[in-house]
Amino acid sequence: MLIRAGTLVESLGRIHRPGHLRMERELITEIGSSLSPRPGEEVLDLPEITLAPGWINLHAHLELGSLHGALTPGKDFPFWLKQILTRLPSLTSEVRRQSIQRSAQEALCAGTTSIVSITSDIPAMAGLTSTASRVWWALEFMDVQNQPEVSAIVDRAMAWLSRNPANAWHLALSPHAPYTASPKLYQEILTSSSAHKLPFTTHLAESPEETCLLAGKETSFRDILPKDLLRKDFGNSKSPIDWCKHNQALPKGAILAHVNELQPSDLPYLKEHRATVVHCPTSHEWFGRKSFPFEILKENEIPVCIGTDSPASSPNFQLDLRQEIRLFRERHSNVSLHEAWEMISTAPARALGCESRLGTLQTGSWADWVGWRIPTTHDPIPLILQGIDPAEISCVGGKITVHEKI
Ligand SMILES: [Zn+2]
């Protein structure tokens, strides 16, 4: 199929006018400005549209969409976690599946074609037949109450994926956080993620209460953890990242959600482990967190990407990365729109090990693109990022969706 658009953003430095893209099945096979249709080839003409790579959200919880507006930040982070726990019975499998489908659709309309979604209720995935966007199901594990059978669960999830080959679905593994997953569980998941070459992601250094717990100080976390929980590793870490270092908890290339609580002594470990940090600006603001240490991470060449987290802790229920970028640039005014673009395209593609498939529109990339209605005479990057309208048309793995406007 040949698509002839007004403009095509191949990557930040390469803009084609007009912008032509040929795709076959799920892949882009040719990019240029003067491609001619082959005999019998289907042609889609979009002269007023700018095609750009679909964005990548490295941290979301698609299954929690129904909790939008239901919770409050409260007095501290454990208080918020307690609210989530009391809501769990209302999150039936059906409610979770509906949230997943709706949130993936909303995100696609807002330009995001790939989402890493933390998946805490794996059986609820049974019966899910499709999602609008590409999804990495990040299977979440904890061992507060009982020991999960990691390898059996991973095998079942892989079999589920192979039964759904028409979907652009992938797996990732995610120990929840150091306060709910022991060092042994982290290490087991690390081994499994290396063996199966699956991305590894975890919530880390999110709140001051977590830092206190791991340092052995008094914290309200004690109110929500079981009284008989025996964790010898609580009590001697200077920071959550220091905890990871002592417990050999992270593989190379880990994707770390939040990292709000950072000590200067953590930086060499993050760098050596080639970690990527995911910052979720609207959720960060909602919790009233202290300033995110973006500048120090950047100085130390630790990649930072932008995610949304879930509508249970953010007003951004559309999972719109443009909204996250706007707030991020209000708080970090030195960040250019081009730099912000990289944080939702090429940087997360690299973190997923998919830089030849995602983040740019090149020969061999997955056909994951978004069509925006913007004037074609300007630099398209600011116009797209500063816009608020939904995308006109999008494509995930070669499947085109035209977004209806009423
Ligand atoms: Zn999260």
Q: How far apart are CA 354 and CA 369, in angstroms?
A: 15
pLDDT of residue 406: 64
Residues having C-beta closer than 5 Å to ion ligand 1:
309
Ligand 1 centroid to 159 CA: how many Å?
26
Domains and CATH numbers, the chain: 2-53+359-402 (2.30.40.10), 55-351 (3.20.20.140)
**Mean of the per-residue pLDDT values for the chain?**
95
pLDDT tens column, 247-279: 999 999 999 999 999 999 999 999 999 999 999
pLDDT at 206 over 80: yes
Q: Residue 244: pLDDT above 90?
A: yes
Tell me the CA–centroid distance for residue 227 and ligand 1, in Å.
25
The whole-number pLDDT of residue 265 equals 96
At residue 238, the pLDDT reads 95
CA torsion 328-331-336-338 (nearest 10°) is -10
Q: In the chain, pLDDT over 70 holds for what percent of residues? A: 100
pLDDT at position 347 is 98
What pLDDT sits at residue 230?
Answer: 84
* The pLDDT of residue 88: 86
Which residues make Cβ contacts (< 8 Å) with residue 89, sequence separation at least 6?
none
pTM over cut 0.75: yes
Residue with more model confidence, 230 or 136:
136
| pLDDT band at residue 69 under the 50/70/90 scheme | confident
58 C-alpha to ligand 1 centroid (Å): 10
CA distance 142 to 125: 18
171: pLDDT strictly greater than 90? yes
For residue 404, pLDDT over 90 is answered with no
d(CA 304, CA 199): 16
When pLDDT is averaged across residues 35-59 and rounded to a whole number, the result is 97
The mean pLDDT value for 146-163 works out to 95
How far is ligand 1, taken at its centre, from the CA of residue 203, in Å? 6
Distance 61 CA to ligand 1 centre (A): 6
| Rounded Cα–Cα distance for residues 255 and 373 (Å) | 33
pLDDT digits (tens, 9 = 90+) for 299-334: 999 999 999 999 888 999 999 999 999 999 999 999
